Structure 1
Amino acid sequence: MRKLRRAALALGAVAVAAGALTACGGDADSAGGTKAEDGTVTLDWEMWAGSEDEKAQLDHLAQMVTDANPKIKVNLRTAPFNDYFTKLQTEFATGEEACLVSMQSLRLAGYTDLLEPLGEHVPADGFDPASTAALNLGGKQLAMPFDLASMLVYYNKDAFKAAGLDEPKAGWTIADFETAAKKLTTGGKSGFGMSFADLHTLSLLLSYNDAAPVTDDVKLQFDEQKMIDAVTWYAGLAKDDVGSVPASAADGGWGETQFVNGNAMMAVDGSWNIGSNISSAKFDVGVAPLPAGVGGSKTYVANSGFGVSKSCGYKDEAYQALQILTGPEAAQYLTDQGRSFPARTEQQPAFKEFLVAQDPDNAEAVSAAVDSITASLSTGVPLFTTKNWDEVTKNMARYLIEVYTGASTPADALAAIQQQGARNQ
């Protein structure tokens, strides 16, 4: 899964007429695709791709759709991930959206009125429950998943051993985490790399005391007491350099970077970085679920999947294509490519096998890391966000770093995030 950052975009949709227009070559145009005289439907599919390898994988999936049903073709349209949602917003606003729309769970709230509820059209059998839940908003399944991610604690096994500390494992507590962070802070190195990135920071706050940034009906609540208490605790990690504070509000990946560079002995990072963190670090890397607070160990989960635009003129064909794109064969193919931790439970063991094969020298660490993903998913909670989440995350960076450095109180900083975000949610 590509790194999950930033936020949902507020959208203004323009209705698109679905009446067919005759085009050159005998194809009939409709929203999101075309239909040829022989009945073959070509569906536009919008997806992000960051390399030629990624695009080749997507082309393979598109061909799988046609191989299963020769009367359905898929026209892949891609954009770099950082540009994807801006492009998608523009397409919906101008009536140029695709039939098949790739979606991230964190951005789902911005597209609830633009995606077709899948309901009985695409069976949900075989998926990890956490993966479908993350793409289900208001009781409507708006996309079907292809991957799944949780947040984990990455730790320096060598440093734990040198400090005489037991390594973290499932069931370790916030108190265990604090003890380790303090003891690991030595020789100019910090026990923990801090963050203000949404999944990284909010997951640890959730595990600490069930603090949540939004209500059940997806309204901001940054100024509620649990959040104030959790941020007060988190900011306290900066005391005596136990927590390494980001250098600036622009350093969104501070904690995980400090960890891999050997300057912080622990950090919260996503499961999508298991392979890269283990291979990049010049020390033995361990991975564990987040430490348990008052309600046990918890993490936010996030993922990506594919949906169907409401304006699609070929919904039946789109549903058929979606079943192939998120089906067992497609899941196995992506797993074999090491694309991401699969949403389908049957393919999840194969993902571990792939990572171990890629890094046999670290087989034990990789295997344990994937086991930690499975353990964390059992208590994982989807993070649903507001339509203006991009603005919210920018304000998190702006104001939380002031708390970490002592320039602002948690209550004042969270009130500012709440007030500015609530105006546009």
Structure 2
Amino acid sequence: MRTTPSRLSRSRRVLAVGLACALALSVTACSKSKDSKAQTGPVTITVSHGYTDNEAKELTVQVGQWNAKNPTSKVALVFNGGNDGALQKTVAGFTAGNYPDVAYEFGSSAAQLSRQPKLVDLTSTVKAAAFNWNDFYPSERDAATVGGKVVGIPALVDNLSLVYNKKLFAAAGIAAPTNSWTWPQFRAAAAKLTDSATHTYGWSYINDGSEDTVWRYLAMLWQAGGDLLSSDNSKPVFDSPAGLAALTQLRDMAVTDKSVYLDSGNGNYANLFNSGKIAMLWTGPWDLSSINADIDYGVAYLPGYNGNHETISGPDLYLAFDHSSHRADVAVQFIQWLTSAPVHLEFAIATGDLPLRKSETSLPDYSKFLTKFPGDKVFVDNLDNVKHVRPNIAAYAEVSTAIAQMVQSVLLGQKPPQQALDAARDQVTSALAGQ
């Protein structure tokens, strides 16, 4: 089974909402590492991760390759119990003095961990020509940067695309979605594909109040020319014509047309898609492995607004922490090797994770990836439609909660779009004032 560790549909796309305070406490309480003296001899570093199944298996293989080539600079893998709890485990390690040398973390944790004194600053490291920093997609580089400082190296990248059931489209007499689809075309198709008598829906939206609820709205907000916060992250700017347009589209589809299945976060949308009860999903490559073999599906870009088909990505990161200068050097060397184009392409071929670097798509073995995972091609191409990332600020968890509540209230018909916008703006203003 193919799994990936970064989104809430696998218990993923997660923000450690209550952990910012815990992290602030841990930073001040963090004890000095017992291994703070410089080392020059053989060393073993620890790499904490939450991978399971194919990802865990392939990571173990690649660590074995590294250890065989580097007998004096070895890597030991430590399973953190699942990436959803990665931040909490890392924070606890600072307090106890047993934190890892490298930790796989959600990109949304970058702002919190950037305050950690033991974090290795990679700003100068990535400027080296051999690192080829610009080979990573822009969204990955942006997610790894907090306040102008590079705090991590991209570990995983994905995005939202439109996945649709070809059979349902053909049965309804609707032409299949294209990469140039508009919001009105999407709405009209969803309405025509909906049948209340058979409980069939045109589209599904995860409406559990998590970051999954926020993700789809942000893509629409950006498509309409808006943004979440001001350029300095000091105030909300989503209470705009763009923000209103996105919420109105959601209201029109969910409340007026009733063409949207509102998933409570239990992942039932996947079962309903497999049973032909949902025609379209806005989802990522992580869901492709759960689609039944008898479902003939297609993938296209998200429907756009005035020609803008921007999507959203949630890059995850490898962060390095300082036990000693020697161990930190080994940690950075290992991450650089692990995320190099040929090595990561091997990982992608084994797991179905998308390429991290643009140059991976030019390597001869990229054809093996596309042959094994043909549905991923659009997702790879769609990485060029990622123009924004979520703000790397400590208060983002509170901002996300306010946006999720806003979207929920509109999808459920509890508030009209403008009223919901006003309420969320006030909540976000308060959250940012407390940074």
Amino acid at match of 2:191: K
Instruction: Choose which of 394, 403, 408 in structure 1 pairs with 2:410.
Output: 403
For the residues of structure 2 that align with 1:327 and 1:47, how far apart are their CA atoms? Answer: 18
- What TM-score do you get using the length of structure 1 for normalisation? 0.82
8 A Cα contact 1:181 1:242, kept in partner: no
Write out aligned runs for 1:320-339 (5 A): 320-339=333-352
Give 1:135 shift: 2.0
Counterpart check, 1:384 vs 2:390: yes
8 A Cα contact 1:154 1:286, kept in partner: yes
Match of 2:381 in 1: 375
Match of 2:71 in 1: 70
Match of 2:204 in 1: 193
Change (3 A) 1:302 1:391: same
Instruction: Choose which of 346, 360, 364 in structure 2 pairs with 1:347.
Output: 360
8 A Cα contact 2:165 2:297, kept in partner: yes
Give 3-state SS (helix, strand or coil) of 1:96's partner: coil
Counterpart check, 1:177 vs 2:181: no
- What TM-score do you get using the length of structure 2 for normalisation? 0.80
Match of 2:10 in 1: none
For the residues of structure 2 that align with 1:418 and 1:261, how far apart are their CA atoms? Answer: 39
Counterpart check, 1:124 vs 2:120: no
Amino acid at match of 1:40: P
Match of 1:266 in 2: 280
For the residues of structure 2 that align with 1:257 and 1:43, how far apart are their CA atoms? Answer: 41
Counterpart check, 1:305 vs 2:317: yes
8 A Cα contact 1:127 1:344, kept in partner: yes
Give 3-state SS (helix, strand or coil) of 2:132's partner: coil
For the residues of structure 2 that align with 1:353 and 1:218, how far apart are their CA atoms? Answer: 42
Alignment root-mean-square deviation, CA: 3.1
Change (3 A) 1:224 1:199: closer
Give 1:269 shift: 0.5
Range that drifts further, 255-264 or 312-321: 255-264
Match of 1:360 in 2: none
Give 3-state SS (helix, strand or coil) of 2:105's partner: strand
Change (3 A) 1:222 1:86: farther
Amino acid at match of 2:44: T
**Structure 1 unaligned runs (5+)?**
22-28, 358-365
Give 3-state SS (helix, strand or coil) of 2:248's partner: helix
Structure 1 runs (4+) greater than 6 angstroms displaced: none
For the residues of structure 2 that align with 1:218 and 1:103, how far apart are their CA atoms? Answer: 22
Amino acid at match of 2:231: D
Question: What whole-Å deviation, never above 9, does each CA across 1:28-47 have from its counterpart, x for those lacking one?
Answer: x239xx95xx8112222221
Give 1:218 shift: 3.8
For the residues of structure 2 that align with 1:416 and 1:97, how far apart are their CA atoms? Answer: 40
Match of 1:2 in 2: 5
How many residue pairs align between the two structures? 399
For the residues of structure 2 that align with 1:214 and 1:282, how far apart are their CA atoms? Answer: 43
For the residues of structure 1 that align with 2:49 and 2:234, how far apart are their CA atoms? Answer: 28
Give 1:348 shift: 3.9
For the residues of structure 2 that align with 1:263 and 1:351, how far apart are their CA atoms? Answer: 34
For the residues of structure 1 that align with 2:315 and 2:385, how far apart are their CA atoms? Answer: 15
For the residues of structure 2 that align with 1:394 and 1:282, how far apart are their CA atoms? Answer: 38
Match of 2:260 in 1: 244
Give 3-state SS (helix, strand or coil) of 1:55's partner: helix
Give 1:50 shift: 3.1
For the residues of structure 1 that align with 2:176 and 2:274, how far apart are their CA atoms? Answer: 18
Question: What whole-Å deviation, never above 9, does each CA across 1:78-127 have from its counterpart, x for those lacking one?
Answer: 22123222212322344432221222223322222233331342413543
Change (3 A) 1:334 1:201: same
Give 1:200 shift: 4.0
